[in-house]
Chain A
């Protein structure tokens, strides 16, 4: 029994149906981790890309080095580091939060590159026109540049969202009770892994397909000229 649901191992179909509600609870955790991680990656990636564009040499170099380092280390090591090493220094984070931070951190390195490409694609003349109107750098980014990058970066960001969704099962290694972890635990108790793991394996492509369809729809409705943020 798990979360109040009992396993029915009389047949494979009955087994599958009986554990679906349990996996559903894990699915919610998986989706929460993916959404929270991706929002964090979008925000942190934007911060990296802005720091890299800083006119202060030390700041832009520092940000570039950090981004490169994050990108070049495996997600699993970052996850272990946050979960097992940080507590030695008094920073104890819950498993779920650790997972979200690790996913977000890793993907912020990717999204910062997407932002960078998006910023570079905004014509220099747009900067000049905004400067001639005496807008501050903050206003230029928020009201002129970022709105014009949104339709350009949406496809690449969508790919990373799907890709991050697929990577959420690594959180199970730091005890997050996501879908994969629950499937494993069900297997541990019933000594029957085929059905729970197959179900998880099927649910992922369904989710990523839905996600891709949503992203394509979003790309179609985004005005090509840009999205005014206010």
Chain B
């Protein structure tokens, strides 16, 4: 096996008195597609937010490739310099539950903004790449629209294109369809399914769409109380979960989804 691309070792994360991740251990192989499931508050989204450097953590170590989330000689957990954090972020992209497109920019500008500003791409090259991505998500005709003119599903597809424009090695999806009307979920899952075929892209997905998780994941991790209680191939987790908490959770969500 290759060395893991992402490795959490004994990570503790607290919000005040609340422990969100409790001696958390987790490793992800390059190119792996991992789905994180579990009840709300179990720490799934926090794992993504820590990887995106949006949250600090208190103890433990986290590495991404050769880079540690603690800068060498840094002053304690997450006290890395801006420069170090930006080196880390180069590798990671994120798609949010609430899309978070920039409302004052056209679709095309949303996508080319960061490649031009951060990757120093020329405008014409960035736009060519953006149009390619818009074609991929099926929104080529919306290039000059503003986010408020798009449906939620369309906004989320633009957000995926925007994240992909930065060519991340790791793409994080934080409940990408939870804020969508049911009839719009399919179009977003369709785009994620397409990306799941990209061999080199490592994907971490937090979702409540169990059938979709089963279809695209290499591995499913069940979270409870800040730890991974059970993990394995989707077939195993969904067909024969061993832990009572996993069985109970799957029973409760799957009855809702028929």
Q: What residues of chain A have their CB less than 8 Å away from a CB belonging to chain B?
A: 125-126, 128-137, 139, 143-144, 147-148, 223, 225-228
- List 22 interface pairs A-B (beta carbons < 8 Å), by A numbering: A125-B96, A125-B98, A126-B100, A126-B102, A128-B54, A128-B100, A129-B101, A130-B102, A132-B89, A132-B92, A133-B163, A134-B86, A134-B89, A134-B118, A135-B114, A135-B118, A139-B117, A148-B102, A225-B104, A226-B102, A227-B104, A228-B109
What's the least CB distance linking A126 to chain B, in Å?
6
Contact with A along B69-112 (1 / 0, CB 8 A): 00000000000001000100110111010101111110001000
Extra A-B contacts (11), CB below 8 Å, given A136-B118, A139-B118:
A128-B96, A129-B96, A129-B101, A130-B102, A131-B52, A131-B89, A136-B82, A136-B117, A137-B82, A139-B117, A225-B148
Q: Is B146's CB under 8 angstroms from A225's CB? A: yes
Q: Is B94's CB under 8 angstroms from A226's CB? A: no
Residue of A nearest to B119 (CB): A134
Residue of B nearest to A125 (CB): B100
Question: Chain A contacts of B103 at CB under 8 A?
Answer: 148, 225-226
Q: Is A147's CB under 8 angstroms from B54's CB? A: no
Bound Cα distance A23, B100 (Å): 54
Q: Is A129's CB under 8 angstroms from B100's CB? A: yes
Question: Chain B contacts of A228 at CB under 8 A?
Answer: 104-105, 109
Question: Chain B contacts of A134 at CB under 8 A?
Answer: 86, 89-90, 114, 118, 166
Q: B117 touches which one: A128, A132, A135, A223 (CB < 8 A)?
A: A135
> Is B22's CB within 8 Å of the partner chain A?
no
Question: Chain B contacts of A225 at CB under 8 A?
Answer: 103-104, 146-148
Q: B104 touches which one: A128, A132, A148 (CB < 8 A)?
A: A148
| Closest 6 pairs between A and B when the two form their complex, measured CB to CB | A226-B104, A129-B100, A133-B114, A225-B103, A134-B89, A132-B94
Bound Cα distance A148, B104 (Å): 7
Bound Cα distance A227, B102 (Å): 11
What's the least CB distance linking B132 to chain A, in Å?
18
Question: Chain A contacts of B53 at CB under 8 A?
Answer: 131
Q: A131 touches which one: B54, B148, B166 (CB < 8 A)?
A: B54
Bound Cα distance A143, B117 (Å): 10
Question: Chain B contacts of A128 at CB under 8 A?
Answer: 52, 54, 96, 100
Question: Chain A contacts of B86 at CB under 8 A?
Answer: 134, 136
Most buried by B among A128, A130, A135, A223: A128
Given contacts A125-B100, A226-B104, A227-B104, contact A132 B113 (CB under 8 A): no
What's the least CB distance linking A218 to chain B, in Å?
16
Bound Cα distance A135, B102 (Å): 13
Question: Chain A contacts of B98 at CB under 8 A?
Answer: 125
Question: Chain B contacts of A133 at CB under 8 A?
Answer: 93, 113-114, 118, 162-163, 166
Residue of B nearest to A143 (CB): B113
Question: Chain A contacts of B109 at CB under 8 A?
Answer: 228
Report B137-180 residues with CB < 8 Å from chain A CB.
146-148, 159, 162-163, 166
Bound Cα distance A114, B23 (Å): 44
Given contacts A132-B52, A133-B162, A139-B117, contact A144 B94 (CB under 8 A): no
Bound Cα distance A139, B159 (Å): 19
What's the least CB distance linking B76 to chain A, in Å?
15
Residue of A nearest to B105 (CB): A228
What's the least CB distance linking B46 to chain A, in Å?
13
What's the least CB distance linking B31 to chain A, in Å?
21
Residue of B nearest to A148 (CB): B104
Bound Cα distance A129, B156 (Å): 13
Residue of A nearest to B103 (CB): A225
Report B111-145 residues with CB < 8 Å from chain A CB.
113-114, 117-118
Residue of B nearest to A132 (CB): B94
Q: Is B93's CB under 8 angstroms from A132's CB? A: yes
Residue of A nearest to B52 (CB): A132
Most buried by B among A128, A129, A143: A129
What's the least CB distance linking B141 to chain A, in Å?
21
Bound Cα distance A125, B49 (Å): 12
What's the least CB distance linking A169 to chain B, in Å?
39
Bound Cα distance A88, B53 (Å): 53
Question: Chain B contacts of A132 at CB under 8 A?
Answer: 52, 54, 89, 92-94, 96, 163
Question: Chain B contacts of A126 at CB under 8 A?
Answer: 100, 102
